Amino acid sequence: MSKAPYLLQRPERRRSPVVFASPHSGRDYPAEMIAASVLDPLQLRSSEDAYVDRLFSDVPSYGAVLLSAVYPRAWVDLNRRADELDPALVEDVARVGLNPRIASGLGVVPRVVAGGRSIYRGKIRRAEAEARIDTVWRPYHELLKAVLDESRSLFGQAILIDCHSMPREALNAIRTARGKRPEVVIGDRYGASAAPGIVAAVEAAFRAQGFVVSRNVPFAGAYVAQHYGRPSSRCHAIQVEIDRSLYMNERTLVPRSDFPALRTRISAAARSIAEIGIEGLPLAAE
C-alpha cells in the first residue's frame, strides 16, 4: 500500500460549516487482497458504495469540504469502531459479548461482502488487521475530526453529512406515510446525532429535488453518526443513504445512462445543505 488512505477536497475558500464524507466509496483494492480472496473483483465490489463520491463531487464549489475514502470497505470499514475485530476472521481475538455487526461478518475488517459471501478461505493474522486500522482507519478519522474542529472554530458549529448508498432490496418492505418506497434515507440516530432543525433542512433539500425521503428506517446511522454527532457540542452528524438502483446497475456496477441527471439533482441538494449555517442565513434550531 502506497496511496494516501483518503482524498480531501477543499474549496478555494471555506464558506460553509458542512463537511461531506464518503467512507464506503473507495475502490482501490490492494493486490494482496485480490490475491488472497476467494471472490472475483466484481464480487469484492458488491459491498462498495460505488460512485457516491462522484455524486457529491461538486460540493467544494459550494464552499464545503469533501472527504472520500480511497481503499474499499471490504479492506477496512471506516464506519465501524477500531476495536470491532471479528474473532471468526482475525486470529487471536477473543469473543466478547454479542455485537450484531461482528456476528454478521461486518466488523472493522469485514469477513464478508454483500449477500454474506466470505472474502477469505480462513483467518488473517491480527497484525495484518491492525496494520489496516493503523494505516487507513486512523488517518481517515484523525483528518475527519480535524476538519470538523475547523468548522466549529470558523463557523461556531460543524455539520457532517455521512454519504452512503443502499441496495434497492433493503427498501422492499419500507414505505413512507404516503405509501411510497423511499429513495433517500436520512439517519440521525432517532434524534440523537443532530439538531432537529438541521435534520429538517437536510431532508427538505432532498425533497426539493423530487426525492422520496424517509428517516432512520432502515438505516439510522452507524459509528460515524454515533461518534461525531454531539449536538450539545455543536457538532451534528447525519447519515444520508441513496438508493443505488437510481444511478447504476446493482449487479454489474455500471452507471445508468441517466447518471448525470441524477448527479445534478444530488448536487443541487448538496448545495442547499452547504448553505446551512452560512452567515446571513438562519441557523437551524437547536
Higher-pLDDT residue of 177 and 156 is 156
The three-point CA angle 59-62-63 to 5° equals 100
Average pLDDT score over residue span 127-141: 98
pLDDT of residue 277: 73
Q: Please report, rounded to a whole number, the percentage of residues in the chain having pLDDT higher than 70.
A: 95
- Sketch the domain layout of the chain as residue ranges: 6-274
- Cβ neighbours around 59 below 10 Å, total: 25
pLDDT in tens, 34-63: 999 999 999 999 999 999 999 999 999 999
Q: Quick one: which of 162, 139, 138 has its CA closest to 235?
A: 162
Q: Please check the confidence at residue 223 and state whether its pLDDT lies above 80.
A: yes
pLDDT in tens, 81-119: 999 999 999 999 988 777 899 999 999 999 999 999 999
pTM of whole model > 0.75?
A: yes
Second CATH level (architecture) for the domain 6-274: 3-Layer(aba) Sandwich (3.40)
Residue type at 17? P
